[in-house]
């Protein structure tokens, strides 16, 4: 079978051929305007959906661009005529290829230093022919330390075609001497045995894509897996919401210019500006509807959806002028099969489906409530499901979780949410499992006696999920975010801090928010769920029961490293879970993920450190030691050209778009695409003092990086001007850059990529959780609307104003050194530059009633434009004690960890136990004396400011201890504390009013 064979669909004199660019006469997906016949539907489904362009050849004469539409419709009419005469489209081709994988036990099992799978220990006796074969199949193997009778065999399948494959399966006829095996591909804990002969569903493969299937195979003298790969030709590709895109022809680049309320169109490869198209205020997202040749734009502050004709660059319609779809419309995605648009409202938690007519006017719409703060969306290749991430977690601090809405598009219905758990919530079964194990484990039983789940509990929620990014096959959803961890202390330490501390001696300023990527299995579409790995337990059998308790999902974490062995190896201090998938070096938080040709590599864009990290998307191992540095500030969008050779990056705080050469990852000969790679790793003793899983046993993760590329093979080659003026002004723009950035190679504000102001205050808001600070555990406060009118800052009112705050916090918490101008710029941004969200729509009459109740009962504490307690006449803050002091917030590490610390360092234990809950500040505070940080003003344990209520509806948790999870519950809670008597109608009215502040 020829890789690029012609596909004959109708009469012999009519072919539809795949083309990558316009040549002669093309029938493109945007011009499939036809009757709803089976052929038309088939063309849409099979070809238009993946937005490719096709050349229709029927011996036509050369045509001009002006004839394009006319000739396209003539060609389609001809196709329909042939269909009416009885000629039907060919069925998708079935593909099949045998394989025989043999394991060399001599190479697979001898004692060796590293634990990665060995590729030279598996051979395929069915020799591949690169010119004619549908697939290339090869394998790798490693022994499992905890399972003496089983091997892990990785089967790699490479698609040699320029189109996707559907229903890929391994038809296994022989599996070792016993004929049984276990499928470990998405769940390394699986014990379900399968018996050959059987068919193992693999799923879908991208054009030129790679797939790994992991099997547990019984040991024998010469283990083997024999069978064949079967598949059928597929079509289509998934979509992800974006703010920048390249047209399928590769000749146009479209990007939003949020600050100037327009969409900018560039011609490629010349990079000339073709058009600047005004749209609604603050455009945030755009999408291409190929069948209609529309560009659809969602405007966050205009609350509208604009439809633009891509050919003429003319606005066809503006939808939502009366805010019918909600406010803060931040994400949009479109159907490629019919004129449907899906747009989300960030502040109202709404997803709206818009059906349009041929004139781009609204025909009908319907909305679905999916939960607070929807962010990036992805649509499956068959348009059966839509995945919507939610930016912040839900639930109070002891019962929180992050989630992804899974929407069935056929009936526009929310299906079961995909959950990213906080594994350390006290009611999580994992905590009780640990308590049971350590209560019966003799060494710990002697120290602790009977343990409870709460002794292990701490904060560990996922947060800041910026989107769902499907790989080109649509089989894995990559979800970027972070985890807020109570095991990490927001440390402050003076020059005279006690040098003997062990628990707090290694922590450095700005080691705060590590980016995490949550890869999720999307092969079953409506059942999106996490992947699971157990590499630690495989290497350290003594940890087996503990690791089985935690059943930790596969998560990618980026943490700072220390080089050892003369630079040949490295370790990562403070790595939460020591698995080889972790990043090799620190990185700022990630907001966008894109993929290179064939989906071979994942490109991860950090808006905090201005970098691109690269990962092998098949093995989920890092593909470079360091990251690619971009020239702009705070990138917010990224797209890859159709041929994979260019990457375009859009910025929040720079007035240009970067064009990046990625041709090293997109060779013209697909046979030259990189094969999957794993970094050699081991667990071994080290002289370094580490806090890392396995550290108790002195066996941290060590990786050999000798063969790992130093940096990604990317090169920035051009800058495309986005806007001529800056409506924010130079001072506020500089302040915003400093607020949102953490890259010590570029900015003086932070000594570490893990710590920017925006790491905890994304977009000036909150991260939905609580941190262990020197003042005690504290909910992250939103800064939306600016802090100029808030008086003293922090829950305990420990900073007088924004300028003093910057002068103090930047060196104390971030280790930065700002000059006078930068200090003033950052303070100015905090005071007046942080934008408010629009309030959600509420019942006006209900809110008016709520305002009356608020004025009478609440305004004495929540006063002024910021609705906060403000400052007394003598300049001191107004503080209140309404009985919300809490001795244990449930955020910091508890009894088990603290007592373990105390065995080696009593002073560290004293600090840790003091940080569990509220304590008096100032005076003789023992924590301050040990760590020698800046003394705080005298405050009793229960004294707090009345928090600002600006954008309070956007808080994920309430009160300083994050003990309440919704605004309505918070109003009821404080009313009870103050003995206020309200009816249910009063509570509803108060909530409606507070949402408007």
Confidence at residue 43, expressed as pLDDT on a 0 to 100 scale = 40
Of 104-118, 494-508, 928-942, the range with the lowest mean pLDDT is 494-508
| Beta-carbon-side half-sphere exposure of residue 874 (alpha carbons within 13 Å) | 2
At residue 318, the pLDDT reads 98
Half-sphere exposure of 466 (CA within 13 A, CB side): 22
CB 319 within 8 A of CB 354: yes
pLDDT at 18: 31
State the CB neighbour count (10 A cutoff) for residue 140.
24
Instruction: Determine the pLDDT at residue 197.
Output: 96
* Mean pLDDT across 171-198: 92
Counting residues of the chain whose pLDDT is more than 70, the rounded percentage is 87
pLDDT score recorded for residue 146: 66
Q: Residue 239: which H helix or E strand, with range?
A: strand 239-240
Residue 55 has pLDDT above 50, yes or no: no
The secondary element (H helix, E strand) that includes residue 925 is: none
Q: What values do phi and psi take at 571, rounded to 5?
A: -130, 160
State the average pLDDT over residues 236-250.
Answer: 96
The region that residue 411 occupies, defined by phi over 0 for left and psi between -120 and 50 for alpha, beta otherwise, is alpha
For 141, residues 6+ apart whose C-beta sits below 8 A from its C-beta are: 103, 108, 117, 118, 121, 122, 151, 152, 153, 154
Query: What's residue 538's pLDDT?
Result: 65
Query: What average pLDDT score do residues 312-317 get?
Result: 98
Cα–Cα distance for residue pair 679/612, rounded to 1 Å: 19
pLDDT given at position 526: 84
DSSP label at residue 880? B
Give me the pLDDT at residue 535, please. 74
What is the three-class DSSP state of 716? strand
Largest pairwise CA distance in the chain: 94
pLDDT band at 870; cut points 50, 70, 90: confident
Q: Among 404-408, 480-484, 573-577, where is mean pLDDT lowest? A: 573-577
- Does residue 738 have a cis bond before it (omega within 30 degrees)? no
pLDDT of 534 higher than 70: yes
Contacts of 61 (CB under 8 A, 6+ apart): none
Over residues 124-162, the pLDDT tens digits come to 988 766 556 889 999 999 887 667 788 999 999 999 999
Tokens for 110, please give them. 């001898």
* Radius of gyration of the chain, Cα coordinates, nearest whole angstrom: 29
pLDDT value, residue 81? 42
String of b and e for 431-448 (b: at least 16 CB within 10 Å)?
Answer: bbbbbbebeeeeebeeeb
Is the bond preceding residue 269 a cis peptide, omega within 30 degrees? yes
N- to C-terminal Cα separation, the chain: 66
Residue 864: pLDDT band with limits 50, 70, 90: very high
pLDDT computed for residue 110 by the predictor: 64
Domain 94-233 = CATH 2.60.40.10: yes
Q: What is the pLDDT of residue 87?
A: 41
- Pick the more confident residue, 377 or 35: 377
Q: How far lies 925's CA from each of 157, 158, 774, 933, in Å? A: 62, 63, 10, 11
The residue that leads in pLDDT, 247 or 443, is: 247
> CA 252 to CA 270: how far, in whole Å?
10
Of residues 691 and 907, which shows the higher confidence score? 907
Output the pLDDT for position 488: 84
Distant-in-sequence, close-in-space partners of 638: CB < 8 Å, separation ≥ 6: 244, 592, 594, 603, 605, 612, 647, 648, 649, 650
Whole-angstrom distance, CA of residue 961 vs CA of residue 455: 18
- pLDDT tens-digit profile of 331-368? 999 999 999 999 999 999 999 999 999 999 999 999 99
The values of phi and psi at residue 739, to 5°, are -65, -35
Task: Report how far residue 305's alpha carbon sits from residue 324's, in angstroms, rounded to the nearest whole number.
Answer: 11
- Integer angstrom CA distances of residue 45 from 71, 336, 525, 593, 869: 21, 8, 18, 26, 60
Which helix (H) or strand (E) covers residue 241, if one does? Answer: none
Q: Which of 537-541, 694-698, 942-946 has the lowest mean pLDDT?
A: 694-698
Whether the pLDDT of residue 67 is over 60: the answer is: no
| Average pLDDT of span 82-98 | 62
Residue 724: pLDDT above 80? yes
- The vertex-539 CA angle with 535 and 542, nearest 5°, equals 110
Q: Give the per-residue pLDDT at 109.
A: 72
Q: Is 548 helix (H, G, I), strand (E, B) or coil?
A: helix
Percent of the chain with pLDDT over 90: 72
The yes-or-no verdict on residue 32 having pLDDT over 90 is no
Closest CA to 482 of 122, 180, 768: 768
The total of other beta-carbon atoms located within 10 Å of residue 36's CB is 8
Segment 446-475 mean pLDDT: 95
Quote the pLDDT of residue 147: 73
Residue spans of the domains in the chain: they are 15-84, 94-233, 730-994
Does residue 654 carry a pLDDT above 60?
Answer: yes
Max mean pLDDT among 413-417, 626-630, 980-984 falls in 626-630
Give mean pLDDT, residues 919-945.
93
Separation of alpha carbons 252 and 51, rounded Å: 14
- For the beta carbon of residue 516, count every other beta carbon within 10 angstroms: 24
CA distance 946 to 939: 14
- Asked whether the CA dihedral 906, 912, 917, 918 is positive or negative, the reply is positive
Question: Is this structure's pTM higher than 0.85?
Answer: yes
Backbone dihedral region of 551: left (phi > 0), alpha (psi from -120 to 50 degrees) or beta? left
Reduced to 3 states (helix: H, G, I; strand: E, B; else coil), residue 622 is: strand
Residue 830: per-residue pLDDT: 98
641 pLDDT above the threshold of 90: yes
Query: Which whole-number Å values give the CA distances from 953 to 372, 795, 956, 971, in the listed order?
Result: 10, 18, 8, 11
Q: What is the Cα–Cα distance from 100 to 374, expressed in whole angstroms?
A: 47
* pLDDT at site 202: 93
DSSP assigned state of 606:
E
Overall average pLDDT of the 932-959 stretch: 95
The whole-number pLDDT of residue 188 equals 85
* 3-state secondary structure labels for all residues of 281-340: CCEEEEEEECCCCEEEEEECCCCEEEEEECCCCEEEEEECCCCCCCCCEEEEEECCCCCE
Lowest mean pLDDT: which of 434-443, 531-540, 745-754, 835-844?
531-540
Q: What is the pLDDT of residue 132?
A: 65
Report which of 491, 480, 445, 458 is spatially closest to residue 555, judged by C-alpha positions: 480
Q: For residue range 808-817, what is the model confidence (pLDDT) as tens digits?
A: 999 989 999 9
Residue 527 has what pLDDT?
A: 86
Tens of pLDDT along 693-716?
A: 544 456 788 999 999 999 999 999
The residues near 609 (Cβ < 8 Å, ≥ 6 apart) are: 586, 587, 588, 627, 741, 742, 743, 753
Mean of pLDDT over the chain: 88
At 114, the pLDDT band (50, 70, 90 cuts) reads: confident
What's the rounded Cα separation, in Å, for the pair 333 and 331?
A: 7
What pLDDT, on a 0 to 100 scale, did the predictor assign at position 504? 67
Per-residue pLDDT, 574: 80
């Amino acid at each position: 079978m020829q890789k690029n064979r012609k596909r004959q669909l109708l009469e012999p004199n009519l072919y539809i051929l795949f083309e990558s660019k316009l040549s002669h006469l093309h029938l493109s997906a945007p011009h499939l305007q036809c009757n709803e016949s089976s052929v038309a539907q088939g063309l849409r489904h099979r070809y238009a959906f993946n937005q490719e362009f096709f050349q229709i050849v029927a011996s036509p004469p050369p045509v001009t661009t002006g004839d394009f539409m006319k000739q396209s419709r003539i060609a389609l009419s001809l196709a329909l005529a042939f269909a009416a005469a009885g000629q039907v489209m060919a069925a998708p081709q079935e593909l099949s290829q045998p394989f025989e994988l043999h394991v060399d036990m001599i190479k697979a099992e001898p004692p060796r230093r590293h634990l990665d799978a060995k590729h030279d220990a598996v051979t395929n006796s069915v020799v591949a022919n690169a010119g004619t074969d549908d697939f290339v199949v090869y394998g790798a193997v490693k022994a499992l330390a905890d399972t003496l009778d089983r091997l892990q065999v990785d089967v790699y399948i490479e698609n040699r075609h320029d189109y996707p494959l559907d229903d890929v399966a391994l038809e296994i006829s022989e599996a070792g001497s016993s004929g049984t095996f276990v499928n470990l591909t998405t769940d390394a804990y699986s014990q379900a045995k399968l018996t050959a002969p059987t068919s193992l569903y693999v799923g879908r493969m991208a054009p030129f894509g790679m797939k790994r299937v992991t099997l547990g195979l019984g040991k024998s003298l010469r283990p083997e897996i024999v069978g064949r790969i079967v598949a059928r030709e597929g079509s289509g590709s998934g979509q992800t919401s974006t703010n920048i895109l390249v047209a399928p022809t590769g000749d146009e680049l479209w990007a939003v210019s949020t600050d100037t309320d327009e969409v900018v169109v560039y011609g490629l490869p010349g990079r000339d500006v073709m058009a600047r198209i005004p749209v609604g205020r603050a455009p945030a997202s755009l999408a291409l509807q190929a069948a209609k040749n529309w560009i659809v734009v969602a405007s966050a502050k205009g609350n509208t959806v604009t439809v633009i004709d891509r050919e003429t660059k003319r606005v066809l319609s503006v939808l939502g002028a009366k805010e019918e779809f909600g406010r803060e419309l931040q994400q949009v995605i479109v159907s490629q099969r019919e004129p449907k648009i899906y747009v989300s409202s960030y502040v109202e938690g709404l997803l709206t489906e818009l059906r349009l007519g041929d004139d781009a006017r609204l025909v009908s719409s319907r909305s679905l409530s999916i939960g607070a703060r929807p962010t990036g969306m992805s649509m499956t290749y068959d348009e059966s499901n839509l995945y919507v991430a939610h930016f912040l977690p839900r639930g109070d601090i002891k019962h929180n979780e992050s989630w992804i809405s899974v929407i069935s598009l056929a009936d526009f219905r929310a299906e079961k949410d995909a959950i990213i758990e906080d594994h350390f919530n006290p009611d999580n079964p994992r905590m009780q499992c640990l308590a049971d194990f350590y209560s019966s484990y003799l060494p710990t039983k002697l120290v602790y006696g009977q343990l409870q789940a709460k002794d292990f509990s701490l904060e560990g929620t996922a947060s800041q999920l910026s989107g769902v990014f499907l790989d080109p096959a649509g089989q894995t959803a990559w979800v970027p975010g972070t985890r807020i961890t109570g095991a990490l202390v927001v440390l402050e330490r003076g020059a005279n801090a006690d040098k003997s501390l062990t628990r707090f001696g290694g922590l450095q300023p700005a080691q705060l928010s590590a980016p995490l990527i949550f890869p999720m299995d999307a092969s079953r579409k409506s059942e999106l769920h996490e992947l699971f790995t157990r590499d630690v337990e495989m290497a350290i059998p003594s940890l087996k029961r503990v690791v089985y308790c935690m059943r930790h999902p596969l998560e990618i974490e980026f943490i700072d490293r220390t080089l050892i062995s003369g630079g040949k190896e490295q370790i990562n201090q403070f790595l939460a879970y020591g698995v080889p998938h972790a990043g090799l070096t620190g990185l700022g938080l990630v907001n966008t993920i894109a993929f290179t040709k064939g989906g071979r590599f994942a490109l991860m864009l950090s808006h905090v450190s201005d970098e691109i990290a690269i990962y092998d998307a098949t093995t989920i191992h890092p593909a470079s030691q360091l990251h690619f540095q971009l020239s702009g500030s705070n990138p917010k969008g990224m797209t890859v050209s159709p041929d994979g050779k260019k990457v375009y990056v859009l910025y929040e705080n720079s007035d240009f778009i970067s064009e990046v050469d990625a041709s090293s990852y997109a060779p013209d000969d697909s046979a030259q695409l990189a094969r999957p790679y794993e970094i050699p790793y081991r667990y071994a003793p080290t002289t370094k003092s580490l806090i890392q899983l396995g550290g108790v046993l002195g066996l941290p993760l060590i990786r050999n990086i000798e063969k790992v590329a130093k940096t990604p093979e990317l090169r920035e080659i051009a800058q495309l001007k986005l806007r001529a003026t800056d409506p924010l002004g130079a001072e506020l723009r500089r302040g915003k850059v400093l607020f949102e950035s953490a890259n010590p190679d570029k900015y003086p504000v932070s000594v570490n990529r893990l710590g920017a102001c925006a790491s905890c205050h994304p977009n000036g808001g909150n991260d939905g959780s609580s941190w262990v600070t020197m003042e005690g555990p504290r909910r992250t406060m939103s800064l939306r609307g600016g802090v100029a009118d808030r008086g003293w800052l922090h829950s305990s009112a420990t900073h007088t104003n924004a300028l003093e705050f910057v002068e103090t916090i930047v060196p104390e918490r971030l280790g930065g050194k700002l000059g006078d101008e930068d200090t003033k710029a950052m303070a100015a941004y905090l005071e007046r530059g942080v934008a408010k969200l629009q309030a959600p729509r509420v019942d006006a009459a209900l809110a008016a009633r709520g305002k009356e109740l608020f004025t009478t009962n609440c305004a004495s504490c929540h006063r002024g434009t910021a609705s906060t307690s403000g400052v007394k006449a003598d300049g001191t803050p107004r503080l209140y004690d309404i009985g919300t002091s809490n001795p244990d917030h449930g955020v910091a590490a508890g009894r088990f960890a603290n007592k373990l610390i105390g065995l080696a360092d009593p002073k560290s234990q004293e600090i840790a136990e003091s940080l569990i809950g509220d304590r008096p500040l100032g005076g003789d505070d023992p924590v301050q004396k040990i760590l020698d940080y800046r003394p705080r003003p005298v405050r009793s344990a229960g004294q707090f400011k009345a928090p600002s209520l600006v954008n309070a509806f956007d808080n994920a948790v309430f009160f300083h201890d994050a003990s309440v999870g919704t605004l309505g519950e918070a109003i009821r809670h404080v009313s009870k504390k103050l003995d206020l008597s309200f009816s249910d109608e009063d509570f509803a009215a108060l909530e409606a009013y507070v949402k408007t502040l």
